[in-house]
Structure 1
Amino acid sequence: MSPAATAVAVPTKPVRARLEEAVERLLIILDTLDGDPDFEDGADAEPSLGAPEGHVSHLVWLHGTDSDREVEHRAPVTAADVFAGMAATLADPGRWTKGAEARNAAGECVPATDPRAVCWCIYGARRIELAKVKSAALRRRLDDETDEMLHGAAGGAAPSAVNDGPSTSHTDALDLIRRAGLQHNSI
């Protein structure tokens, strides 16, 4: 066989970009079909070398920047840690939303742990904090504990109803998280 017959065609840059986008879309479809792996008994038992959560897409993360900083994603171990993480996630008003657990840059509803998510409701922010917890037992305990505290801080109302209320502001949402965290400190 001649060398020309065994050569592999290398796609041009525009073709490669379209292929990357197609693969990204297929991975998103597979992830959606599989459900959220962070709430399985094995938690997220994947290697830590994947793209970190909170990026618009894996491709954006892959291409990177000229920055050499690493972000540490410490898993919460107490309800106070969960509330602190929620407050940090929602600190910027542009990262808070109503009517959906999370939204992508186009404003479409996506799961909170979707890498395309750019803004979250109170429960979406809580979900991304809980997704960092590797121990299923600890994650369940923190889920129950923080849910109860959010309901208490909301005066028994559903925190999602407070978040999505027509008159609820970004400041109101952060205040609900703060009040729930204060309940933790009084226990």
Structure 2
Amino acid sequence: MCRSTPLRRTPVAGVGLALAAVVALTACGQASAGAAASPTPSAAGASPYVEPGAGDGAPHHDENNAYRRPGTMSAAHAEDAEREADRLRPVLKRLWEERKWHPSAVRAELLRLGYEEERVAQDGERLGGSLTVRELFSRYEDGRYVTDEGALVALRVHEDACVTGVVQEAAYGVRAGGPYPETGCFEPPYGH
């Protein structure tokens, strides 16, 4: 069960990568379980080791991208996550319209809804709270790392259910989904 907010766009050039992150964040889809392919004869020139359904035809595609597949939510927890997404959506929309997308501004508004910031020990153990607001992931461009203005939002609703959102100049979006194996509620960036 996945429902996403349509992207709201402004006529801003040069935000392709940031917008791609938003599209990925608000996309609804399920990755196939992807059983390993057996080495059987194939069409001339095609690798016999490509997994079925591998989008780019790369061997071990599903295995190499397992860290990018969210976990499955139970039906009851998915409903809870959708309810929380419905609470966040109008706040992020308003912040986007007001052009307030700095993480500190977004965090302050979401804490007013009664959420508590998530606390994590140095060893990664979660100590309480459910809300994390951070800057956008950086990307490598022209020999340096660049971070666009904006905020990523993660709300842990249950162990198997999250709400994620983004607000930046180009767009905003909110979706419910399961957590990722290595990064919790945040979708991991490419380049693992």
TM interval, short-chain normalised: under 0.3
Q: By percentage of residues, which structure has more strand?
A: 2
Q: By percentage of residues, which structure has more helix?
A: 1
TM normalised by structure 1 equals 0.23
Larger radius of gyration: 1
